[in-house]
A and B are shown apart, each in its own frame.
Chain A
Amino acid sequence: MKKIIFALLGGITLTVFLVGTIHAKGLKMTGWPYQPDTVTENLGVFTAQSGIGAEFLPIPSDSYHDKMVSDFATGTGFDLVYVRDNFLAEWASAGWLHPIQDMPGFDQYRKDLSQASIDQLSVDGKVYGLPYYAGMMSFAYNADHLKSAGISAPPKTWDELLAQAKKIKAAGISNKPIALQLKKGNYIVISLEVIAAGFGGTMFDSKHNPVFQKKGSAFWKALAWTRKGLKAGLIDEASLSSGDHDVVNMLSAGSHTFTIVADYNLKAMNDPEKSKNAGKFKIGLIPGDGNTRSGTTSYVRLYSITADAKDKAAAWKLLQFLGGRDANNEYFVAKKWALNFGLGFAQLPLYEDPDVRSSLGKWTNPDVMAEQSKYSVNRGYRFLPYFSDWQTETWAELQEMLMGDDDLGNDLEKLAVAWEDLKN
């Protein structure tokens, strides 16, 4: 026994010494671990072009926000970080990110990005980063299911969606054809925002005053529609515990027909290595309500420079290389993500690129995507720092509204009051 313990102890001390940490000099970047080898390869190109070393140290996706919050709060050692648009307001107002609109050469990106994209990268008029990938929520469906149920085209309105779902259910093709992301968390709010956009409205007006609680508002209609679908067994109640990866699995398994997901998710569904039903999934316009043809919300993932970065000039160079133009004045990195990995982009010049267009055609329909992007609604209220405080309080309430029978008015009014309280 003693011998074993001593051997263990010795082994541990020795290994701890051997494993002693060696860190490369230069810039440090972190993000979620999507294709870390490609990122490192890109950073190698950057080093070759600029002579500045750079290293990518990924953090698990699910815990990315929590780890970064702890890291920022204690003084981060990272120079560049990935940011999801839903944390941007939070991180910017906490003073963790460095604004870039006054960096030399920034103005060319005002040309290369639409004003809507610039708005999505900004908080309080300051720009905080350049896009990594971008896109919008889109409507995905199993074309085979529609065909077997004798449906010729995807639904144009929300009512038609329920009618088609009913038909598919009756034909025994899918027991509960619609899968939505209604899990507590960002999911439920984003899904309802998209449906509300299809009903022709947003939760707040352009001055950030709540309108969702007004009778007949788009958000009210979205809630009522979702509740109706759940009650009728056309929207699967499993939606209440489903996030993005869950609905992708539900469709890939062939058990569900319709969903609303980020555009890149369609690629996983149509990947034969991941799904036996690959190839059956198509993208369609998000339904409308007859007056409004469609509606959606867009998202962006961006690279930002941290406020703690020591060499801001070097970090700006790397930021431009990744989210903007490289030393050869090309969108090298964004194009690579689009071509090889099917990630969406916000850089306008890439839309003209023939390689990018033909590559997108393999797993989605670029024309539908282009049309869908016209219906994207503006959600400036998401960039208020107290939005996240407010939305955490809404998750449980929204789920209870969806599962209950109460009049929606009272509950929505309470949420509006909570918003006004936070505002003051």
Chain B
Amino acid sequence: MKNNFWPALGFLSPALLVILVTIVFPFGYAFFLSFHKWNLKYRDTPFVGFKNYSRILGSETFWEIVGTTAVFCVLSVFLIMTIGYLIALLLNEEFWGRGMLRALLLVPWAIPEVVNGILWKWLLDPSFGILNRILMKIGLIEEYHSWLNSMPSAMFSVIVAYVWTHVPLAALIILAGLQSISKEVKEAALVDGAGIFDRLILITTPLLRPVLVVVLMFETIFALKVFDIIYVLTGGGPGRATTVLGWQIYSRTFTNLAFGRGSALAMLLGLLTLIVAVLYFKYLNKEED
């Protein structure tokens, strides 16, 4: 067992070098700041120990924001995984035009942030947005709805926009996984003559588990840190209804210049994400070793 350590490290060394060189200082710096009252507006930056952390953990608002983040994360990751898996299964079939469709799949992700903001803001606009017009035409709504300014439609709109950009990533990764197991799936299906759905649940999904766990983990990490789409669409509003941790970290650090508090929040979010990742790994990635 032990004799493998050094060869393994040899394989890993270029990657570790890149990561360590770039991350150790910034991470250490942020960690250091989180134990100080460090606001760029004031010269005085005293060491305060765990005070930043205790103030955050003791505030009601923080737990409310954690709740909002959890709701956002669970819903959007669920949707991304489901839609992503379905799209990947479809693109794994052979049909005319699938090459083009596979490439076009990347479109939502490739649109720059600022354009995405305009796109969704205008689609959802209550007075000249297209969504209202279409829904009205097919008779789903009776009057123009102001999607971003009441709950739960504000949260739902943000999730829809977010899911749309993230589905390509999930679908792409799952699709590649499907490609590498397609032979086993076909063989197994030939042997027991299983139907489409049995095949999916009994054969494909278990074989794909390592890849699915990784996608699930990535999407959870991304969703827990979400910031951009909230920034453009709702600014965390109405009230605090869509204020998530990523937004709160941004507003602490860049609006208040309270880098101490902001870093402490970031550390807590990092820790939370790590716990979730480890739990996924432990319970979903059961392995032979």
Contacts and interface: CB of A to CB of B under 8 A. Distances in A.
A171 to B, nearest CB: 17
B144 interface: yes
A392 B125 contact: no
B266 interface: no
A256 to B, nearest CB: 7
A95, A240, A385 — most chain B CB neighbours (10 Å):
A240
Interface stretch (A65-73, A106-114, A161-169): A65-73
B254 A241 contact: no
Contacts of B126: 236-238
Contact of A238 (B39, B41, B149, B255): B149
Given A69-B40, A238-B127, A389-B258, A396 B144 contact: no
Contacts of B146: 236-238
Contacts of B121: 246
Contacts of B128: 249, 253, 255
A62 B232 CA distance: 10
Interface stretch (B49-57, B98-106, B238-246, B278-286): B238-246
Given A65-B254, A388-B255, A241 B234 contact: yes
A240 B258 CA distance: 26
A392 B251 contact: yes
Contact of B254 (A69, A72, A237): A69
Interface in A68-99: 69, 72-73, 90, 93-95
A403 B238 contact: yes
B41 A250 contact: no
A316 to B, nearest CB: 25
B42 interface: yes
Given A62-B114, A250-B127, A256-B127, A241 B255 contact: no
A93, A238, A385 — most chain B CB neighbours (10 Å):
A238
Interface in A95-128: 95
Interface in B119-176: 121, 125-128, 144, 146, 148-150, 154
Interface residues of B, number: 32
Contacts of A240: 148-149, 237-238
B259 to A, nearest CB: 8
Contacts of B114: 60, 62
A72 B235 CA distance: 25
Given A94-B257, A184-B236, A389-B256, A238 B125 contact: yes
Contacts of B258: 389
A410 to B, nearest CB: 16
A73 B33 CA distance: 13
B43 A255 contact: no
A396 B41 contact: no
A175 interface: yes
B212 interface: no
Given A65-B254, A93-B41, A385-B42, A241 B144 contact: no
A400 interface: yes
Contacts of B251: 392
A185 interface: yes
Contacts of B41: 90, 93-94, 385, 388
Contacts of B217: none
A179 to B, nearest CB: 9
B123 to A, nearest CB: 13
B224 to A, nearest CB: 21
Interface string A388-424: 1100100110011001000000000000000000000
A407 B256 CA distance: 29
A241, A249, A392 — most chain B CB neighbours (10 Å):
A241
A392 B255 CA distance: 7
B149 A255 contact: no
Given A62-B114, A253-B128, A400 B254 contact: no
Given A73-B40, A90-B257, A389-B258, A241 B150 contact: no
A29 B289 CA distance: 60
A388 B252 CA distance: 11
B235 A185 contact: yes
A183 interface: yes
B88 interface: no
Contacts of A66: 254
A239 B42 CA distance: 34
A90 B255 CA distance: 10
A65 B240 CA distance: 23
B233 interface: yes
16 contacts: A90-B41, A184-B235, A237-B146, A238-B127, A240-B148, A240-B237, A241-B233, A255-B127, A385-B41, A385-B42, A388-B41, A388-B257, A395-B236, A396-B236, A399-B238, A403-B238
Interface of A: 60, 62, 65-66, 69, 72-73, 90, 93-95, 175, 183-185, 236-241, 246, 249-250, 253, 255-256, 385, 388-389, 392, 395-396, 399-400, 403
Given A93-B41, A241-B154, A253-B128, 6 more contacts: A69-B40, A175-B144, A237-B149, A241-B148, A241-B233, A396-B237
Interface of B: 39-43, 114, 121, 125-128, 144, 146, 148-150, 154, 233-240, 243, 251, 254-258
Closest 6 CB pairs of A and B: A255-B127, A184-B235, A400-B239, A396-B240, A241-B148, A237-B149
